[in-house]
A and B are shown apart, each in its own frame.
Chain A
Amino acid sequence: MAERLLLRCRDIPDLRRLDVYVAHGGYEATRKALTTCSPEQLVGIVKTSNLRGRGGAGFPTGLKWSFLPKQTAKPVYLAVNADESEPGTFKDRLIIEQDPHQLLEGIIISAYAIRCHTAYIYIRGEFALGAERFEAAIAEARQAGFLGKNVLGTGFDLDVWVHRGAGAYICGEETGLIESLEGKRGYPRIKPPFPATHGLFGCPTIVNNVETLACVPHIVLRGADWFRAIGPEKSPGPKLFCVSGHVVRPGTYELPMGTPLREIIYDHAGGIPGDRKLKGVIPGGASMPVFTADEIDVPMDMDSVQKAGSFLGSAGIMVMDETVCMVWTALVIARFFHHESCGQCTPCREGTGWLEKVLRRLEYGEGTATAADVDLLLNIAGNMMGTTICALSDAAAMPARAFVTKYRAEFEEHAALGRCPFRPIAEPSRRHAHA
């Protein structure tokens, strides 16, 4: 893409400062939205743009907004999901740290559209710099009249509060986030009711991802048709792709939705170092099913990736070359979800730990694993899917199932050898030597 929008911070030094931001057309979108559009019109524009959530689920943003009750005596809240904790994802952090006003504009316009006067940004606890910079941006914006009472003289009031998380992956799940914002343990809620009617403090609430909201000012300025024309119509817009792993130039790339995965890896990210062979790619963060080297001719938009058997998720692209052990990789991912399962639902609480145990046995078990363990993994994963309150159980089961299914021979080899073929044979221990 010739022009970078979401990543203008790459082209404009100090864009995080309000003066620089304003000098480059900042807050024009806010002015336009608040002075020329009604909230209903804005919801309509976002609906027409086909903007879909960038957090992972890809739900249409305008549609989500329209689920709010038309009449309510309760306050409406906007909760910004900046808990970015999906392994392999580092796009929201960039926006928060380098271009906070872009996000703030998105928050102001969206809050106006949903008639919200209090917005919270739930920011991942590890993002200390991001929280600091966003607080500073809020202070600057408030000073300049973009926040607080009577925004830009329009009569619209908005306060934005920063809430720092305490390190739980599950607090990125929207209802877990809401519980955590309320000061409780981060337990996803059973649905229904949905946050749009019973969210934060029991009030109508919209939870939107950072990147999603960052798209909103651009849609307001350039129009829904412009946005919809970028990439596939049903899943359009500029998109941030986070590329990590065995590539020459890992990093965050702003590309049109639908850019082929092969192009992202080999052109933009510079291919695999040492010209080693590609073994697999996780397209959407650790929770999404892996693609084999033969499956990367897929356009990276929500519908195409789903059609190819995985999900775009948070667009965290993790590239693995031929030196990587897929059992080990599955184990690392399983360990993560075991650690992060909130423990509320039985299948996830027990299944995530069980998956890790079986994978550990295959990788490090010194012969304790059996060939039956390979099918056991599939069976556990199958029993975990679609049976819990939130998607974490699926998030743990999907990658495990994909690794086993697509690299089955490697799993069977582990079981047959009684060890990991990717690591040198361990020295016999002292105890064995004396035996």
Chain B
Amino acid sequence: MPTLEIDGRKVDVADGLTVIQAAERAGIEIPHYCWHPGLTIAGNCRMCLVEIEKIPKLQIACNTRVADGMVVHTTSEKTKAAQRAVLEFLLINHPIDCPVCDQAGECKLQEYYMDYDRQRSRVPLPAKVRKKKAIPIGPLVMLDQERCILCARCTRFLDEVTHTSELAIYERGDHCEIELAPGRVLDNPYSGNVVDICPVGALTSRDFRFRARVWYLERAESVCGACANGCNIEIYHREDRIFRFQPRQNLAVNQYWMCDNGRLSYRDLQGEGRLMQPVVRGEDEFVGSTWASAIGQAAGRLADLARDGDPGAVGIVVSAQAPNEEVFLLRRLGAALGARMAGISWSPPGAFHDDFLVKADKNPNTSGLRLQGLGDAGAVDDLIRAAAAGELRALVLHRTDLTAWRDATAVQAALERVPCLVVIDTDRREVAAYADVVLPLATYAECDGTFTNHAGRVQRFHTAVAPPAEARPGWAVLGELVARLGGAEPPASVAAAFDALAAECEAFRNLRYDALGAEGQPVAGA
């Protein structure tokens, strides 16, 4: 293990690391544009030039391997002079159109200019090389060639990660430009990542641009719910509106990337169809209710029907859209009612998937459902048959769009025969038309909780925005319902709900909510 010295600090790092990585581990920032941990080393931006003792020329920290006894200076006069020079070179042909540039506020040219340069321009504006601006190069990406610093992050991503090579660098010298290959469009399933890794305003998101200045946005750590992969994300939001998803690094799950489908799935979370308020069936129409009244009615009817009927007269269906804590509390509900439980994990047939990040299973928590014993796909169909046969007195549908996921006519006929239907969901679906009580839930962007991804990794998501109107987090709603039915006291927090799950369920036994960390933990045996 080599020991080197960076800015007077001794740093022990693993052999084979580069100086830029060693510095990062020691908390010392070496400015860089082209280097990205998920891509090969290009060494072209020259921003990371540092002085290393006993080497006459400055070296690029991104391609210099650490060696025992190496002495690196990242703030010496020689290093600073090189940083200033490189920034000046980068800016001489840059249009400096920050006021109308969507990257402003998260632009490495702006940041490094303030941190490392701060010189006046020595190039008159008319002398700059002009290139093309605002070129749509794909459904998600807009290209501005003038702002491009030719770090080749985008081309390397498309060569090395997606292997699609839609973009390349054309021309030479200061006429170099990023451009689509002839006849191509940047429309691969991961195209949005080039926007994230572009350090400047050359590639901006056609979905996000001009919708908000980034410095007004807040971020919440989360997990994408669009499929079973569980890509780690950050939710950018402001005033309870979600503006974008961006991938968050997790080498065990999604590295640095996410798919376009997941990236745009934020739109589904705040759509028109959200349930806003608890409702109960009145004489001949639904009427709005308070939470206390709606939960009271649901609990009362479920308790009555369960008591009067045979064992198994109540059915509960929970989908793989539900977080682990909700699944757990639904199981408590089932125990209190002596109910028949069925899990369902439905994905649109033929939906896109690949062998990288996009899974065929479009549910974020199929593994969590299975690990809590609700993985039997046939159980739902048994319940529908039981309902159709008039055997079910009551049915709870949790985040379940049963008419869409099964034969609609058969389900409708079955639901007609169930005396009491309780729907607990985020969005209005057809089954709600048959409901007696509808309880509106928060999405995963609106509450805390965990999903278990396809590989058995339990990952936390955090509240980004408030739920719409009166919708509430599922763990709180279900906890209260269970308590009303004489079950356990409601968990004080989602952490308490998870820890109670861990205490009861073997696969989660060694996990604690507060110890899951930013990147999650695998369940036993995963």
- Contact across chains for B85 and A387 when beta carbons are under 8 A apart: yes
Q: Answer whether residue B386 sits at the interface, using C-beta atoms and an 8 A cutoff.
A: no
Cα–Cα, bound, A388→B45 (Å): 9
- Taking a contact as CB atoms closer than 8 A, the residue among B43, B44, B46, B174 that contacts A353 in the complex is B174
- Taking a contact as CB atoms closer than 8 A, the residue among A343, A357, A376, A387 that contacts B176 in the complex is A343
Q: Answer whether residue B249 sits at the interface, using C-beta atoms and an 8 A cutoff.
A: no
Q: What's the least CB distance linking A41 to chain B, in Å?
A: 35
Q: Answer whether residue B98 sits at the interface, using C-beta atoms and an 8 A cutoff.
A: no
Cα–Cα, bound, A190→B152 (Å): 14
Q: Answer whether residue A350 sits at the interface, using C-beta atoms and an 8 A cutoff.
A: yes
- Taking a contact as CB atoms closer than 8 A, the residue among B44, B60, B93 that contacts A344 in the complex is B44
Q: Answer whether residue B37 sits at the interface, using C-beta atoms and an 8 A cutoff.
A: no
- Contact across chains for A349 and B86 when beta carbons are under 8 A apart: no
- Taking a contact as CB atoms closer than 8 A, the residue among A343, A347, A353, A386 that contacts B150 in the complex is A343
- Taking a contact as CB atoms closer than 8 A, the residue among B45, B60, B89, B127 that contacts A351 in the complex is B89
- Contact across chains for A353 and B173 when beta carbons are under 8 A apart: yes
Most buried by A among B63, B89, B90: B89
- Contact across chains for B174 and A346 when beta carbons are under 8 A apart: no
Of chain B, the residue at the smallest CB distance from A348 is B173
- Contact across chains for B86 and A354 when beta carbons are under 8 A apart: no
Of chain A, the residue at the smallest CB distance from B129 is A353
- Contact across chains for A352 and B46 when beta carbons are under 8 A apart: no
- Contact across chains for B58 and A350 when beta carbons are under 8 A apart: no
Q: Answer whether residue A389 sits at the interface, using C-beta atoms and an 8 A cutoff.
A: yes
Q: Answer whether residue A242 sits at the interface, using C-beta atoms and an 8 A cutoff.
A: no
Q: Answer whether residue A338 sits at the interface, using C-beta atoms and an 8 A cutoff.
A: yes
Most buried by B among A339, A349, A388: A349
In this complex, how many residues of chain A approach chain B with their Cβ under 8 Å: the count is 28
Contact digits for B324-366, partner A, Cβ 8 Å, 1 yes 0 no = 0000000000000000000000000000000000000000000
Residues in B with CB closer than 8 Å to A349 are 89, 150, 173-174, 176
Residues in B with CB closer than 8 Å to A343 are 150, 169, 171-176
- Contact across chains for A190 and B85 when beta carbons are under 8 A apart: no
B50-104 with Cβ < 8 A to chain A: 57-58, 60, 63, 81-82, 85-86, 88-90, 92-93
Q: A339-B173, A343-B176, A346-B89 are in contact. Are A387 and B41 (CB under 8 A)?
A: no
Contact digits for B168-203, partner A, Cβ 8 Å, 1 yes 0 no = 110111111000000000000000000000000000
Residues in A with CB closer than 8 Å to B46 are 345-347, 387-388
In this complex, how many residues of chain B approach chain A with their Cβ under 8 Å: the count is 35
Q: What's the least CB distance linking B28 to chain A, in Å?
A: 21
A78-130 with Cβ < 8 A to chain B: none
Q: Answer whether residue A30 sits at the interface, using C-beta atoms and an 8 A cutoff.
A: no
Q: A347-B89, A389-B43 are in contact. Are A342 and B57 (CB under 8 A)?
A: no
Q: A190-B60, A341-B173 are in contact. Are A354 and B92 (CB under 8 A)?
A: yes
Q: A190-B43, A346-B46, A387-B49 are in contact. Are A341 and B82 (CB under 8 A)?
A: no
Q: Answer whether residue A185 sits at the interface, using C-beta atoms and an 8 A cutoff.
A: yes
Q: Answer whether residue B122 sits at the interface, using C-beta atoms and an 8 A cutoff.
A: yes
Residues in B with CB closer than 8 Å to A383 are 81-82, 85, 88-89
Most buried by B among A341, A345, A348: A345
Q: A376-B122, A386-B57, A386-B58 are in contact. Are A350 and B169 (CB under 8 A)?
A: no
Residues of A within 8 A of B (CB): 168, 185, 190, 192, 338-354, 357, 376, 383, 386-389
List 4 A-B pairs, minimum CB-CB distance, nearest first: A343-B176, A383-B85, A190-B43, A350-B89
Instruction: List 10 A–B pairs whose Cβ atoms lie within 8 Å, in order of A's numbering.
Output: A190-B41, A190-B60, A343-B173, A345-B44, A345-B45, A346-B46, A346-B89, A353-B129, A387-B57, A389-B43
